[in-house]
Structure 1
């Protein structure tokens, strides 16, 4: 295993999700087709797949942020709903999760100890 490369969220409306994720992550997709939309988030892939099926809570990825309270509030202001409010999990590491408008869970993490290899 070499680490995270891609996180994919399944969405009922690819058009609406592309707009929402562009705002939430403050970037435009680099790949935009009717079957897949891809964003480059700090060198990692965030992908959107069209899918009308029911979602579950079985996948959780955390995206790094500098200020977890601000990032959490920004996602809520864009229409995400609370899943787990920001909390300290030890050693100054903070995590939180929200549900996007398609019921996918988005994790955010502030980890002052994380360093890329």
Structure 2
């Protein structure tokens, strides 16, 4: 099991799902109107139709953490900037989106 999830913004979820089914030769394990998840050799890759609303500028790696608020504070102290604050997204899962000092996006996620 991977300790991170890659999320790809996908404004047209149906088209993106069809594309990645073909590109990866795999079926999604989760297919909802708000998230489509694939597991490729233990790597979770998800499609997010609300990526633009969530302020994603491209694919983001979400790193698993047990204490999301503490991780956000730690990364902010190291020069990171909060793009999307800690947000509950359902099913006991919360995430935060940040940028590094160069403006690259990195995310953190906790699952209850």
Aligned to 1:31: none
Measured in 2, the distance between the counterparts of 1:60 and 1:94 equals 15
Aligned to 2:110: 110
Aligned to 2:75: 75
Runs of 4+ in 1 over 3 A off after TM superposition: none
Counting matched residue pairs gives 62
Aligned to 2:43: 4
Residue aligned with 1:61, SS: strand
Superposed CA RMSD in Å reads 1.8
TM-score when scaled to structure 2? Answer: 0.51
Aligned to 1:85: 85
TM-aligned CA deviation for residue 89 of structure 1:
0.5
Measured in 1, the distance between the counterparts of 2:86 and 2:73 equals 10
Aligned to 2:59: 59
Structure 1 unaligned blocks of 5 or more: 6-55, 113-117
Measured in 1, the distance between the counterparts of 2:43 and 2:90 equals 23
TM-aligned CA deviation for residue 4 of structure 1:
2.9
